[in-house]
Structure 1
């Protein structure tokens, strides 16, 4: 490990002395695990070169040689390029005016370089600390006897059994001895953190640029429900992309909120939902002055990102809170090509699936509260979290969040640079060596958002195999069964590959080999007539909560006879998974176009789960409101 501290100064004599003195102190420090090295540079291009080095972890700005403009420019350059690293001010002032924007302030005239060295080492050690993970390891290695839950007692119930010891060996010792109980007080409480979990969450807030951050052990699905529960009350209006994740729609049901659904842009050629046009968002906000909240997903499952700053500013001007579902974008903070993030654009709340792109266990997620939130009710928010949190959380999951934060704080830029390089290598290979096409933002977006400054997250690589005559579901099957490659998702003619910080050179080579052989087997002519249309949003005629809790009735989903379902009001969400975007939500009127899509998914896509579909008398069915229920619900909804 090597951590570099870079002094930015125009006083080269001072810079050389500063670096030399600190290097001597560092050589005598045999206890530090950081491997501190020191350098100095001038502002501008020299600083940019050091920021491109992943090992640069601290930048010190010398206000004894940099005027106020240069100081500000250097600080902004640093924050644009490497938001996660520490910035120190070397000052000649007794009380610098902007000291609060720096991680630390050190006197430029400090003659005891041991003090300077220890100060720099301290702020770095704070950043690389994993308070909860360290406490968990300490507890496990102390080998205390368990007289508490869980019943497997650190795995002893399995390791001593001839019938299940194979599972114990397969999973590994530490899976079980880190699975502990809330009885272990030294590990803090996720429901009321006061020590190591609280420390870990505070470090997380700093790393991700939030006012507060919270660990969630049952996914971003629950994170979304927590935020919406905190902000919404029965009858509150919320402006929401109808193609948000199903958890957002579940939250509408639970809260009794009134959704103002936004129709997303749709790319019918590739079967992909895109962002909501910016003009539609602005219009919906203006037409609903009582709306309390705006909910958008950025980036989408396919990597499409909104130009969030003007949208969030417009919402705030109208007194509306903004939640951005960044389930697929937890990595965005750690490379300048991927920024700005939702928090940097002023979002009030952001939810992230830390497990999707970073090094956390599945279900491990975070909620971030933005710095723009005024009068934040921390106690009330904690109660909202606790309503959805198990009193028996998985401690390994919490530790994985702690460790994932540390990794991105200290090497996020480096690992994301490598990841983006791999993604670009895939795109180049597909373009130069196969019959397929990698789709860019202009391919994935429909014309209605062409001028909305939508961007593409490069880590989502979507490949059009239909242009070479292949069916994407068949290509996915071939990749899995013949090459051992599992893709993230597919449409009828595209495959999406997720490039993460866990992607390796060997995996990349195997993918290239598989794509090349797949291309050689292709017909070379574009596949025709295999499309799967995405239906337009139909009218919402009942409050989602009312529709969901209606007794309803189940009507068969018949491929030949759809008339009985036409015009009826859905009680359930009908959701193909992945990606978890509903075709119907409770309270929505059923149209022929929507039924055609549902029938297509149910009877032709065995590779997907279909959530919300029922079975009645051995036949596939949908639950709809009775005619009387629908009539009463329509009247209620129109009166709101």
Structure 2
């Protein structure tokens, strides 16, 4: 994937190295409080709370939780030293024109992206299944929003169908928002989508926000990279040099890479006529939206995440693919368990979607049984499953899952597959109805939810947004 020289360069960690040096320097900080300075009680004795902080976070993490900026380390908003180099390396590794680090999660990254695309004064076409951060950000920006319909079949994405209808009605959208990697493993076939998008906007131009929250690590495995958003967008722009288009790709790095929670990437790609303005708009949006007190450990973790993915991503993804295949194979032999695939991929190569092989859905026959298995997995075996959808449980076989952990899961499933407990359902109504996890609205403005039982997804159901 990379030459030896590229590999050496892309595994550098300039920002993490700089923070590492400063964390051990014993700096007396007369700026904002660095919590490491409270490691001892005023009389010099260790306090109970400081000891608990060290147990939870470790002395090195406490030391790295600094409040240093430029010139000692680097400026977040006007990076020109170690952070600037780290961002350039990440852009090169992913294949973007530029990359920004966000320490407020992809919720913050999406808000920044929509601010940069000036969605408040634009007509916006939104993928129906977007995360709540998109819907709320567009509300805040007072954008003119239309939701793309769910396609009747899977041969064409609903966004493309909506764009075709708009073109026939002589209606133009300025911004398109699409989610291309979902919590449930539904992946948009990027090459098919971008080919159709170019056909429909080649003469008008377009700005696109691509939310690729769940699959940043795919960019570092040769087979998975063929459908990764940044690589596919870059290819489409190179294949169509006259296409006036700009893209922002957001990724929750912490969902699939070696990054701390709330670590997110925003990748910039655009045609030459749009790239300078896009860079300026994203920089301004960061300044308006992002916290002015970014977490330095999160920034360093985004530096480390890229280097780690370049060095070990292919091996780790391959291991995860092997383990997920094994889980499916075992599940097919366990009585009372079935492998379920909810991703609409009928039509194979002609489908608008692919299924992420690192996501495994197991069907336990009823919501009550699935709920019981989920609870017992955690209580008895220390196995956490975040997502229940009716009778199915979703197992994300990420790159941190080890063969030993999968052995534990297999043993547990063989023991617990017949467990059953009473279950329940929940229903609600409101402007937005959003289940969490995963934060995808069940209802958006303009839709009506029938007064029918709604299977509970996760632990909570938020209903009045």
Whether the TM-score (by the shorter chain) exceeds 0.5 is yes
- Which 10-residue stretch deviates more, 479-488 or 162-171? 162-171
Pairing 1:309–2:191 present: yes
In the TM superposition, 1:492-531 aligns within 5 A as 492-521=390-419
Q: Report what 1:344 is aligned to.
A: 231
Structure 2: how far apart are the matches of 1:520 and 1:390?
A: 49
Distance 1:343 1:386, change over 3 A: same
CA displacement 1:289-341 (0-9 Å, x = unmatched): 32012111111111111122232233334122222110011011122332221
Q: Report what 2:459 is aligned to.
A: 608
Q: Report what 2:177 is aligned to.
A: 295
The answer to whether the 8 Å contact 1:155/1:173 transfers is: no
Pairing 1:212–2:98 present: yes
The answer to whether the 8 Å contact 1:472/1:493 transfers is: yes
Query: Which protein has the larger Cα radius of gyration, Structure 1 or Structure 2?
Result: 1
Distance 1:131 1:471, change over 3 A: same
Structure 2: how far apart are the matches of 1:182 and 1:140?
A: 10
Structure 2: how far apart are the matches of 1:257 and 1:127?
A: 39
Pairing 1:404–2:301 present: no
In the TM superposition, 1:539-550 aligns within 5 A as none
Pairing 1:596–2:452 present: yes
Matched position secondary structure for 1:310 = helix
Structure 1: how far apart are the matches of 2:96 and 2:151?
A: 30
Match of 1:578 among 437, 449, 456: 437
Q: Report what 1:471 is aligned to.
A: 369
The answer to whether the 8 Å contact 1:155/1:176 transfers is: no
How much does 1:385 deviate?
1.1
Matched position secondary structure for 1:313 = helix
CA displacement 1:131-173 (0-9 Å, x = unmatched): 0000011112222222222253544356855231332231211
Count of aligned pairs between the two proteins = 442
Pairing 1:143–2:1 present: no
The answer to whether the 8 Å contact 2:378/2:384 transfers is: yes
How much does 1:188 deviate?
0.5
CA displacement 1:249-291 (0-9 Å, x = unmatched): 1121122211110133599xxxxx9994476244345246320
Structure 2: how far apart are the matches of 1:202 and 1:133?
A: 14
The answer to whether the 8 Å contact 1:277/1:449 transfers is: no
User: TM-score with structure 1 length normalisation?
Assistant: 0.64
In the TM superposition, 1:434-473 aligns within 5 A as 434-440=335-341, 443-445=342-344, 451-466=350-365, 471-473=369-371
The answer to whether the 8 Å contact 1:487/1:496 transfers is: yes
Distance 1:460 1:584, change over 3 A: same
Structure 1: how far apart are the matches of 2:120 and 2:419?
A: 56
How much does 1:448 deviate?
9.5
Q: Report what 1:382 is aligned to.
A: 283
User: TM-score with structure 2 length normalisation?
Assistant: 0.86
Match of 1:193 among 79, 88, 98: 79
How much does 1:580 deviate?
0.7
Distance 1:179 1:284, change over 3 A: farther
Q: Report what 1:550 is aligned to.
A: none
Over the aligned positions, Cα root-mean-square deviation in angstroms equals: 3.1
Structure 1: how far apart are the matches of 2:59 and 2:96?
A: 36
Q: Which ranges of structure 1 fall in alignment gaps of 5 or more residues?
A: 1-81, 87-119, 268-272, 534-556, 558-564, 614-622, 624-640
Matched position secondary structure for 2:332 = helix
Q: Report what 2:239 is aligned to.
A: none
The answer to whether the 8 Å contact 1:364/1:401 transfers is: yes
Distance 1:373 1:457, change over 3 A: farther
In the TM superposition, 1:104-115 aligns within 5 A as none
The answer to whether the 8 Å contact 2:332/2:339 transfers is: yes
Pairing 1:249–2:135 present: yes
Structure 2: how far apart are the matches of 1:465 and 1:274?
A: 30
Structure 2: how far apart are the matches of 1:274 and 1:144?
A: 60
The answer to whether the 8 Å contact 2:316/2:399 transfers is: yes
Pairing 1:180–2:28 present: no
Matched position secondary structure for 1:328 = coil
